[in-house]
Structure 1
Amino acid sequence: MIICFDIGGSAIKIGHAYAAEHVRPIGRVPTPGRDFAAFTAVLREAIAAAGVSPARAAFSIAGIVDPDTGIARVANIPCLNGRVLQRDLTLALGLPVDLANDADCFALAEAVVGAGRGHDTVLGLILGTGVGGGVVVRGRLLDGPGGFAGELGHGPVTQRVVGDPPVTLPAFPCGCGQSGCLDAVCGARGIEMLHRHLHPGASADSHAIIAGWQAGAARESRTVAIWLEILSGPLAVAQNLLGAGIIVAGGGLSNSRPLIEALDRELRSRVLCRVERPLIVRAECAIEPGLVGAAILGLRETREAVSA
């Protein structure tokens, strides 16, 4: 059995994994975000409560790991930020530890047991509070545990002159310290900021904006049209580079099937290799993808350790 943890800023989700298709969510506990000793104590309690000794502990984390130094950048959990996290968790738990970025775990789960099954290359696209992603090639993460590959949310790439009639947008600042990132304008908070910028005095959350667009409201329709234009260009570049068989969308914005279908149409009009079938589809993994992706990592490492 592999014990899996999906580490978020407010809660730690726990699961037991016996196979990629057999992951049992056990529950969740609050995240002790500022105290590493308290954080690892919560993990040890979960391991002790399992009743059997896990072969490994596998983690999905909302951060990235420097592939050269092993140092983690986990902005929303200060006690993990700046640590050589795999080493420190291995020492604290007394178990082999596997780590991956949460977007990578999502992509891995969808590639193996979700909407990406049967495709050699899968791009996972997170459209949540912000924008993220991960890439899986033949069932393996493209960059191992680093968490960088597929992160198209960051980098100064957003188109500035957009829409019909055209409007010139500023390079909106991003939480990563750069300006002009997709993360700043194409996640849920980003589309809300875009709406306020395009329509001064207007204030609506992402759900209301999408509902208004679906109902044909003029302001919301303009916002969504510009959002689609901003996002689909860089996404087309990613698709041209990777040649993904499928792009699987997750996160809160992906709950709108019409929005994902519209993004798919916009993308397919921009890529070099035109296809008639959808390229972007909604996620299908029924169990928490962070737990499932972490489980796949741990189970694979267990098999490879046994066969070595």
Structure 2
Amino acid sequence: MIVCFDIGGTTMKGGYARAVEDINVLERVPTPGRDFDAFVGVLARAIADCPAPPRALAAAIPGIIEPGSGLGVVANVPCISGIPVRERLEAALGLPVALANDADCFALAEVAVGAGRGHRVVLGIILGTGVGGGLVIDGRLINAEGGFAGEWGHGPVAARLAGTPVVEIPRFRCGCGLSGCLDATVSARGMEALHRHLHGKEATSLAIVAGWEAGEAEPVRTIAIWLEIAAAPLAMLVNTTAADIIPVGGGLGGSTALIAALDAAVRPLTLRRFDRPLVVRAQCRVEPGLVGAAWLGFASL
């Protein structure tokens, strides 16, 4: 049995996994983000209450483990940032510990029980408040030892000109410190900034997508440009990684029509020609963080 956790900056949820498809989910509890001892205490209580002696603890975290140093980079949970978090947790808990970014765990969940089943190279992407992703090849997470692989949302690569007629796109400032990142341009908040730039009006991403689905002129213009900006980098990732399926999670991933439109925009741009959908909605809609963490934990044994 594996004790698994999905850790967020505000709350954390645990579970007991007998298998990836068999997880007993625990109640969500507040994350003690600034108190390492209290943080360990939450994990230790779950281990103590486990119905059978666990073999390991695995967790999805809202950050990354730096390759080489093993230091956590977890802004939303500062008590595990800047320390060799895996080593510290193993010493405190007396169990092997496996950790991965939450987007990586999302990708693993899609491999385990979602749209990635049966595919050799799976690029799971998040389109929500932020833009992220994880890469799994032959069932193995590329970031198994930590790192930034799959973080396609960061880097100043967003198109500066797009649309018909062509319009100039600002280099929106990103939370990572750069400008012109996809995270700041095609995330939910990026879609809202794009709509504001194009039309001088405030609207939520949900309202923009709903207006586009209804055929309203201004949202149709916004989404056409959004698709153009998002599709080219995704196609380049397909060419680079040989991904043969791209499950999409996050708030924007909930729109079947939007994901179908993104798929239609991406496929003509890839070197490999696909006669089936490439960009698809995620299928593991419930607790992907726990499912991915469980896969990670079992794979580490």
**Interval of TM-score (by shorter of Structure 1 and Structure 2):** over 0.9
Q: Any stretches of 5+ residues in structure 1 without a counterpart?
A: 303-308
Alignment of 1:102-141 (within 5 A): 102-141=102-141
Answer whether contact 2:238 2:244 (CA < 8 A) is retained: no
Q: 1:120 & 1:52 partners in 2: Cα distance?
A: 33
Q: 2:269 & 2:220 partners in 1: Cα distance?
A: 21
Structure 1 residue 143, shift from structure 2 partner:
2.7
Q: 2:96 & 2:121 partners in 1: Cα distance?
A: 28
> Is 1:85 aligned to residue 85 of structure 2?
yes
Q: 1:147 & 1:141 partners in 2: Cα distance?
A: 11
Q: 1:250 & 1:287 partners in 2: Cα distance?
A: 11
Q: 2:83 & 2:195 partners in 1: Cα distance?
A: 38
Q: 1:147 & 1:248 partners in 2: Cα distance?
A: 21
Moved more, 264-273 or 254-263: 264-273
| Residue in structure 1 matched with residue 29 of structure 2 by the alignment | 29
- The amino acid across from 1:188 in the alignment is A
Structure 1 residue 286, shift from structure 2 partner:
4.4
| Residue in structure 2 matched with residue 178 of structure 1 by the alignment | 178
Q: 2:20 & 2:101 partners in 1: Cα distance?
A: 18
> Is 1:296 aligned to residue 295 of structure 2?
yes
Q: 1:42 & 1:180 partners in 2: Cα distance?
A: 39
> Is 1:278 aligned to residue 277 of structure 2?
yes
Answer whether contact 1:34 1:79 (CA < 8 A) is retained: yes
Q: 2:158 & 2:285 partners in 1: Cα distance?
A: 33
Alignment of 1:1-308 (within 5 A): 1-200=1-200, 202-302=201-301
Answer whether contact 2:133 2:152 (CA < 8 A) is retained: yes
- The amino acid across from 1:119 in the alignment is H
**Runs of 4+ residues deviating >6 angstroms:** none
Q: 1:284 & 1:82 partners in 2: Cα distance?
A: 34
The percent identity for this pair of structures is 58
Deviations 1:245-269 (A, max 9, x none): 1111111100000000000000012
Deviations 1:58-79 (A, max 9, x none): 0100101111100111111111
Answer whether contact 1:63 1:147 (CA < 8 A) is retained: no
Q: 1:24 & 1:282 partners in 2: Cα distance?
A: 25
Deviations 1:139-164 (A, max 9, x none): 00123141411110101111101111
- The amino acid across from 2:222 in the alignment is T
Q: What's the secondary structure of 1:186's corresponding residue?
A: coil
Q: Given the two structures, how large is their TM-score scaled by the length of structure 1?
A: 0.95
Answer whether contact 1:173 1:179 (CA < 8 A) is retained: yes
Q: 1:247 & 1:193 partners in 2: Cα distance?
A: 25
Structure 1 residue 52, shift from structure 2 partner:
2.8
- Count of aligned positions: 301
Q: Given the two structures, how large is their TM-score scaled by the length of structure 2?
A: 0.97
Structure 1 residue 124, shift from structure 2 partner:
0.3
Structure 1 residue 189, shift from structure 2 partner:
1.1
Q: 2:52 & 2:263 partners in 1: Cα distance?
A: 45
Q: 1:120 & 1:273 partners in 2: Cα distance?
A: 15
